[in-house]
């Protein structure tokens, strides 16, 4: 992992915000505390209101993608700005500094605790649950909903979380209710995982099929 100089990141963001109307933002892997602080500053300066935060910390292949001191910065500087956060179970454990989350009951409790960190909506993802269901738990401070999905047997699950958060950000401006954007993004992702075995890319975890809908035409 090679961090990019933070002045360069700030310039890229300022250039984009000056040139393009940005309706929603999605954040993924930020890497270091300096990057987290730089991005948080840009989000505030540009008054970003629709922010999806995928708090990427550990890759599917087990590589650590976020320095420990960056977790504190993420928790304090970015998460309170978020409309939606989409941690997986290991990331929720780090953010909450809690014991391993193993069951749906653990997830329901953790979704509430994560909401107390300041985002408007928590989507706690269940891809790391044991068993044949991969259920996500969503809490907006008032209502808790669960999006169950049968676990699809494939090794092509690389970027499921990234795909989901990007799809939510892309769909947010198209739905009056953010929960509808979340449901639509989850449906898109589940279809992309279902179709992923049409692809054979590389020897590790392959990608989900982002263009399944176009290919079928």
* 158/209 with CB nearer Mg ion: 158
Choose, from 26, 126, 161, 163, the residue flagged as catalytic: 161
Choose, from 38, 135, 160, 190, the residue flagged as catalytic: 160
Determine whether 194 is an active site residue.
no
Q: Which of residues 139-178 bind Mg ion (CB under 5 A)?
A: 161
Position 87 contacts Mg ion (CB under 5 A): no
Q: Which two tokens stand for residue 141?
A: 């401070």
When CB distances are held under 5 to 8 angstroms depending on the partner's kind, the choice from ligand ATP, Mg ion, none that residue 128 binds is: ligand ATP
How many residues belong to the chain?
Answer: 217
Determine whether 159 is an active site residue.
yes
The candidate with the shortest Cα–Cα distance to 146, out of 191, 104, 180, 113, is 104
Mapping DSSP onto H, E and C, the string for the chain reads CCCCCHHHHHHHHHHHHHHCCCCCEEECCCCCHHHHHHHHHHHHHCCCCCEEECCCCECCCCCECCCHHHHHHHHHHHHHHCCEECCCHHHHHHHHCCCCCCCHHHHHHHHHHHHCCCCCEEEECCCCCCCCECCEEEECCCCEEEECCECCCCCCCECHHHHHHHHHHHHHHHCCCHHHHHHHHHHHHHHHHHCHHHCCCCCCCCECCCCHHHHCC
* 11/103 with CB nearer ligand ATP: 103
When CB distances are held under 5 to 8 angstroms depending on the partner's kind, the choice from Mg ion, ligand ATP, none that residue 60 binds is: ligand ATP
Minimal CB distance to Mg ion: which residue?
Answer: 161
Rounded Cα distance between 136 and 33, Å, is 28
When CB distances are held under 5 to 8 angstroms depending on the partner's kind, the choice from Mg ion, ligand ATP, none that residue 6 binds is: none
When CB distances are held under 5 to 8 angstroms depending on the partner's kind, the choice from ligand ATP, Mg ion, none that residue 165 binds is: none
Minimal CB distance to ligand ATP: which residue?
Answer: 127
Determine whether 161 is an active site residue.
yes
Give me the residues that bind ligand ATP (CB under 6 A), please. Answer: 60, 88, 125-128, 134, 136, 149, 151-152, 157, 159-162, 164, 186, 189-190, 193
Q: Least distance from C-beta 15 to ligand ATP, angstroms?
A: 28
**Contact (CB, 8 A) for 73 and 99:** no
Determine whether 135 is an active site residue.
no
When CB distances are held under 5 to 8 angstroms depending on the partner's kind, the choice from ligand ATP, Mg ion, none that residue 127 binds is: ligand ATP
Determine whether 160 is an active site residue.
yes
Choose, from 26, 38, 86, 125, the residue flagged as catalytic: 125
Tell me which residues are annotated as active site: 125, 157, 159-162
């Amino acid at each position: 992992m090679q961090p990019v100089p933070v002045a360069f990141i700030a310039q890229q963001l300022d250039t984009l915000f000056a040139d393009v109307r940005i309706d929603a933002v999605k954040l993924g892997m930020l890497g270091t505390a300096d990057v987290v602080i730089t991005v948080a500053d840009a989000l505030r300066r540009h008054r970003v209101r629709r922010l999806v935060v995928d708090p990427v910390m550990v890759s599917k292949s087990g590589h650590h993608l976020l320095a420990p001191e960056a977790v504190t910065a993420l928790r304090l500087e970015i998460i309170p700005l978020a409309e939606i956060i989409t941690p997986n179970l290991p990331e929720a454990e780090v953010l909450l500094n809690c014991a391993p989350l193993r069951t749906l009951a653990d997830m329901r409790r953790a979704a509430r605790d994560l909401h107390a960190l300041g985002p408007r909506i928590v989507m706690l993802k269940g891809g790391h649950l044991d068993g044949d269901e991969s259920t996500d738990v969503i809490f907006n401070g008032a209502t808790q909903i669960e999006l169950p999905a049968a676990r699809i047997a494939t090794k092509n699950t690389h970027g499921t979380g990234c795909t989901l958060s990007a799809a939510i950000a892309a769909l947010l401006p198209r739905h009056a209710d953010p929960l509808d954007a979340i449901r639509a993004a989850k449906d898109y992702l589940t279809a992309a995982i279902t179709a992923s075995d049409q692809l054979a890319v590389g020897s590790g975890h392959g990608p989900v099929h982002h263009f399944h809908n176009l290919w079928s035409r």
